[in-house]
Amino acid sequence: MNLIIDVGNSLVKLAVFKNDKIKHKETVEIDLVLEHIFLLKKKYKLIDKLIISSVGKFKEKDLSIIEESFNSLILNSKTKLPFDNLYKTPKTLGVDRIALVSASVNEFPENNVLIIDAGTCITFDFITDENKYLGGAISPGLRMRYRALNNLTANLPLLDTEIPDDITGNSTEQSIHSGVVNGTLKEIDGVIKEYEQKYSDLTVILTGGDAKFLSKQLKSSIFANSNFLLEGLNYILQFNSNK
């Protein structure tokens, strides 16, 4: 069994996989990670390998304990990947994007795939049916757009994410919702259509914290998968374990 550790900006996702299936998933604060890792080890005694994504916020002591206790893989730019990485600056490619592309290789082999991760940022990543990762795009996410309007202006309020009543906002609040939400939807739909013009057999994956909110309103045909990043990390661990 594999233990997946995905370190985010403030929280950490832990997942236990048996082969390709998630047996357990939880989200914890980073200060409690070590405690929860060993609770999971106690519960799932067959855990023998783990992968850590984004180690920057780990205490060196905690990381040392983990590496001493498990057969560990720290995901970074030197990790062997299940695809041909043609990104010109591989050292700056986020480990979350690496994991998402790896998941697409595992689930949709020999397909042209566009992966859209709608989180703090919206990332677009494209891999060809010849297993070549070409890159993509990075754009502000929904919450970042709302916050930018509030932080960088004198009078615009900070609003919670909400589906606008109409394309034409009849108040300042509705105008903000229309600009942020409709702007994001039009951007995503536009990017998808541009890729579809080049690749008629395109598969589109939508994941991330805002995937459920956005997927209901997007016009394009997509696969929504909230566990795609975790599945990608598990596949990278399996891929390296077989080397």
Q: Which of 74, 102, 128 is the last residue of a domain?
A: 74
Pair 142, 36 in one domain: no
State the chain's mean pLDDT as an integer. Answer: 93
User: Are β-strands 84-85 and 113-118 bridged in parallel, bridged antiparallel, or unpaired?
Assistant: unpaired
Distance CA 54, CA 95 (A): 7
Pair 226, 108 in one domain: yes
Chain-centre distance for alpha carbon 35 = 25
Which residues constitute the domain of residue 16?
2-74
Pair 103, 70 in one domain: no
Q: Tell me whether residue 242 is in a domain.
A: no
Per-residue pLDDT reduced to its tens digit, 203-237: 999 999 899 999 988 877 788 888 999 999 999 99
Q: Is the pLDDT of residue 59 over 90?
A: no
Per-residue pLDDT reduced to its tens digit, 21-34: 999 999 999 888 89
Burial class (CB in 10 A: 0-12, 13-18, 19+), 68: exposed
What does the pLDDT read at residue 55? 59
Per-residue pLDDT reduced to its tens digit, 173-197: 999 999 999 999 999 999 999 999 9
Pair 88, 66 in one domain: no
Residues annotated within the binding site for ATP are: 6-13, 120
96 among known catalytic residues = yes
Q: Tell me whether residue 51 is in a domain.
A: yes
Q: Which residues of 7-39 are buried (b: 16+ CB within 10 A; e: fewer)?
A: bbeeebbbbbbeeeeebeeeebebeebbebbee
Q: Tell me whether residue 113 is in a domain.
A: yes
Pair 91, 203 in one domain: yes
Q: Is the pLDDT of residue 68 over 70?
A: yes
Q: Is the pLDDT of residue 69 over 80?
A: yes
Question: What CATH number has the domain bearing residue 32?
Answer: 3.30.420.40
Q: In this structure, what token pair is assigned to residue 167?
A: 């394309």
Pair 169, 202 in one domain: yes
Pair 229, 184 in one domain: yes
Residues annotated within the binding site are: 6-13, 87, 94-97, 117, 120, 172
What does the pLDDT read at residue 135? 97
Pair 52, 96 in one domain: no
Cβ 142 vs Cβ 210: under 8 Å: yes
Pair 94, 34 in one domain: no
Catalytic residue among 62, 96, 125, 201: 96
